[in-house]
Chain A
Amino acid sequence: MDELLQEFISETQETLEALAGEVVAWEADPSDRDRLDAIFRFFHTVKGSCGFLNLPRFERLSHAAEDVLSEIRAGKRGADPATVSAVLGIMDRIGELTEAVAIGAALPSENDDFLIGALSAQAAEAAEPAVQAVVAPVVVARQGGAQSGPRTIRLPLSLIDQLMNGVSDMVLARNELSRKLRERSADPELDNVFERLSTCVADMRDVISKTRMQRVERLFAAIPRMVRDLGRDLGKRIDLTLEGGDVEMDREMVEMVVDPLTHIVRNSIDHGIETPEKRRAAGKPEAGRLRLEARQSGNQIVIAIADDGAGIDTARLVDKAIAAGRLSPEAAMRLSEEDRLDLIFQAGLSTANQVTAISGRGVGMDVVRANVERIGGVIALDNHPGQGLCITLRVPLTLTIIPGLIVRAGGQHFAIPRSAVVEILHDNNETLHLSEVGGAKIATIRAIRHSMVDLEDVLGMEKPVQQGPRAIMVVRSATGVPFAMGVSAVDNHEELVIRPASPLVMATGVYAGMTLPDNGKPMLLLDAAGLANAARLPNIIDDRAARQQDQEADAKAGVEMVAALRFEELSGERRLLKLSLIERVEDIDAGLFGRSGGRAFVRLDKRLVPVANGLSQFDRARVSALRLRDDRREACYPVAAVFDIVQMPAVPDMVAMHGMLSGVAVVDGEHLEVINPFALFAGLPEEALVERARGRCVLADSGDGWTREILAPLLRQAGHEVVLGLPGNCAVDPDDVVLCTEADAAQAAEIMGCRVVHLRASPRPTGPQDGSIYRYDQDALMAAIAGRRA
């Protein structure tokens, strides 16, 4: 019985969620028979199951709703807004009851008669036009929203977690096996099998991680209903468009994004979109447009919420900030438009004139931003006063993988979320000044004073004597003031799989979790806010005006900006590369890429060009590639996609030299890794792969197996163009070199005025006049070809 009840509850809740949008869509188009049927089916199912489970209140409610709906189906009654509201009311009550049954609480004892009465009362009034009918229903356009989903089954989450752990174990075992294999002598057969195993394990891991994914549709499910209700309450007309519901993201992430998204949509309807009268006066269509769009971009999900309402009145924001005493009028004068817009994220500032029931209760955009940033996301505003506002949320695909920096302190490694680090400097940097007063350390960076702590001191570790400079990181937590933190060094940045630490470790308050890197040594993830608390740093914001001035002075000193290309790596990261190095961008056939001697190259215009990032295998037929050039060498850099040209600071905002990267720059609020051109060209093979070959190599004995299978590939690899067999018309280009193995053919070719390289099968020449070359003497052969050409 319990199991049946459980099943009933979860099924009802799920259907309710999915159905809220359907009801609204049905209201917009009452002739939509499919939707009406779906809703009718829901009530019918509920009625059936609860008769069986003995839940009389459910039964009464669903029975009443079913009656009304069947009247509508029979055409005896229209689906006017009031009826729809009453049906929605019943659905809400069923939802509440389900909740109560699920947690085993007493059923709320409000009178259901009122709701049922509302349903039937409408039947009488249906004839006279309701006042609310003036407010047009919300039109929902779902794009590509299929009515019936794929077949699914229900699984306990713990089973999936277990599966995930199993796969992680498998990956680690694979790594260990790979290490062991490398130590032993190479056995190609074993390597092949191992390679296959690796592919299987990697595929498996991908698939398993997909089980944690959920369609964004679930995030959108509640939106149409909310928009409809709000629109009705406020007397506004809204055209809602939902797009990208089939994008998938981690289910935990979906939970985390619901609140910020709801808040933004509420704001947009309450403050953004104007009333129909105002919109008419402004020359806009009466119905405001609200568009929610989700898409995946690399390892991020981008959710854009755009409306064509009034936008944010920055002047009013500034006035409010001044009135609230957060900003001096002089400081306000100095603010850029961007800074003014940024004020919306200040706690307690809202452009709403009065507090309404919908939003503007003081819980504002500051909370939204804090929530988004807590999960490693970024929020960006694109404001067009009078035209509309577009808010973009960028959140990582999963909660458990975050980009992090690996730092060293006290001889140990720690990870810190990259989003928490604003800047990294070496303590011998001239823009940095360290001072100490009364035990307090202060780091002054470009005239801004930060509290300074050493990580070793906070954690109570010994500070080892160190050669070379220490790294000073400016750390910012979602709440609180940025502070400077000294560590021995910043070693690396990588994507970290974060897992929760045991409560014992979390109790210290300075750790946010732990991660297990490839070397098998667990590493702790630092919590920026916790560190500030543990160090008992003062939490007082610098005088904003003073900071503003400093920033202005800074701006005068000039942050040099250079043009850079923003692109996406084949591995999914988004990076920047200085534009001046890029000759052009072109699409290249994947088949032209190859690998030789551990180096990747690509064949372009009859010559071999080294591939800068060492890739030679692609999952697509054509690859976008950047063609790069320094003063004498060129390289090819295959990428997944090229986005646009942006301005980036000449020196990355955060310098962290590592491999091919020189650091991280922030462009439009997005953290992008910057490619270090020096390392890129330094990593190329010194000698050009092949001198530019002129002419062709004509292989006279094309029927011969050795020529075809051994000689021809060798020559091709060396960069020569190979022609098998003498051209039919015998007109051999004077630049061509003819290779043959038979003496008479060699003589014949020589007579015709061709350059000939004569090959022989025996290691020793037959006589002093023999000008032929032993066919396995590669050096002599290459020299002969080059010599004949000279």
Chain B
Amino acid sequence: MDQLYLLATLADTRIAVETGEVEAVVRLTDISPVPGMGAHVAGLSALRSRVLTIIDVAALIHGRATPAERRGLAIIANISGHSYGLMVDGVSDICRVPEGELPLRGQLDPAWAPYARALVEHDGHPWLLVSLAAFIEGGALAQAA
């Protein structure tokens, strides 16, 4: 299995993201809020000359906005032509997973259901394989509408 995965923690959950979806991981600096939006849109942030829409993924999952002082890293992704930054609590590793994708087991929290695709095993722990595009298209846009 040659697929690389980015391993991160998000809303106290271990997640894995296919590196093909990830453009970069940056430390967030200034975020200009977008008033009139739900908590899941933390605001806009400039990365060089690009403007990122910063998504508070934790707020999308369990509806509570991440307090400003806990905003740390964001995964940058280009989803249907626009640049997004998805806030995560921490990033631990980028690695190959020998067993590849495993089917989901157990009863998944419904909050995670729209985004989780499979499991990957690393370091003896299961990591939830999520799709970044699903966060934007499935979750955020649906909430905005």
Residue of B whose beta carbon sits closest to that of A410: B35
B35 touches A504 (CB 8 A): no
- What separation, in Å, do the CA atoms of A505 and B64 have in the docked complex? 19
A502 touches B82 (CB 8 A): yes
B98 at the interface (CB under 8 A from A): no
Residue of B whose beta carbon sits closest to that of A455: B35
B144 touches A521 (CB 8 A): no
A520 touches B46 (CB 8 A): yes
Check A459/B32 contact, CB under 8 A, given A504-B53, A516-B49.
no
- What separation, in Å, do the CA atoms of A664 and B79 have in the docked complex? 41
Residue of B whose beta carbon sits closest to that of A165: B49
A171 at the interface (CB under 8 A from B): yes
Q: Kindly list the 5 A-B residue pairs having the minimum CB-CB distance in the complex, ordered from nearest.
A: A459-B35, A522-B44, A502-B82, A507-B144, A168-B49
Chain A residues in 8 Å Cβ range of B102: none
A173 touches B48 (CB 8 A): yes
- What separation, in Å, do the CA atoms of A505 and B136 have in the docked complex? 11
- What separation, in Å, do the CA atoms of A523 and B45 have in the docked complex? 10
Q: Which of A147-166 contact B (CB under 8 A)?
A: 165
Residue of A whose beta carbon sits closest to that of B140: A504
Residue of B whose beta carbon sits closest to that of A411: B33
A524 touches B44 (CB 8 A): yes
Chain B residues in 8 Å Cβ range of A516: 46, 49, 51
Mark A491-528 against chain B: 1 for CB-CB distance below 8 A, else 0. Answer: 00000000111111101101100101000111110000
Residue of A whose beta carbon sits closest to that of B136: A504
B53 touches A502 (CB 8 A): yes
Residue of A whose beta carbon sits closest to that of B79: A502
A171 touches B49 (CB 8 A): yes
Chain B residues in 8 Å Cβ range of A501: 51, 53
Residue of A whose beta carbon sits closest to that of B41: A504
Mark B33-72 against chain A: 1 for CB-CB distance below 8 A, else 0. Answer: 1111100010011101111010100000000000000000
Check A412/B41 contact, CB under 8 A, given A172-B48, A173-B48, A507-B141.
no
Q: Which of A464-513 contact B (CB under 8 A)?
A: 499-505, 507-508, 510-511
Given contacts A412-B35, A502-B84, 6 further A-B pairs with CB under 8 A are: A171-B49, A412-B33, A504-B136, A504-B141, A508-B144, A522-B44
Chain B residues in 8 Å Cβ range of A258: none
- What separation, in Å, do the CA atoms of A504 and B133 have in the docked complex? 13
Chain A residues in 8 Å Cβ range of B32: 412, 521-524
Choose from A165, A458, A523 the contact partner of B36 (Cβ within 8 Å): A458
B145 at the interface (CB under 8 A from A): yes
B41 touches A522 (CB 8 A): no
Q: Which of B65-120 contact A (CB under 8 A)?
A: 80, 82-84
Q: Which of A514-548 contact B (CB under 8 A)?
A: 514, 516, 520-524, 534
CB distance from A523 to the nearest CB of B (A): 7
Identify which of A165, A171, A522 gathers the most chain B CB atoms within 10 Å of its CB. A522
CB distance from B45 to the nearest CB of A (A): 7
A534 touches B36 (CB 8 A): yes
- What separation, in Å, do the CA atoms of A765 and B89 have in the docked complex? 78
Chain A residues in 8 Å Cβ range of B84: 502
- What separation, in Å, do the CA atoms of A516 and B51 have in the docked complex? 7
B33 touches A503 (CB 8 A): no
- What separation, in Å, do the CA atoms of A171 and B49 have in the docked complex? 9
Check A507/B48 contact, CB under 8 A, given A410-B35, A459-B36, A523-B32.
no
CB distance from B78 to the nearest CB of A (A): 11
Chain A residues in 8 Å Cβ range of B37: 504-505, 508
CB distance from A524 to the nearest CB of B (A): 6
CB distance from B138 to the nearest CB of A (A): 12
B34 touches A503 (CB 8 A): no
A522 touches B36 (CB 8 A): no
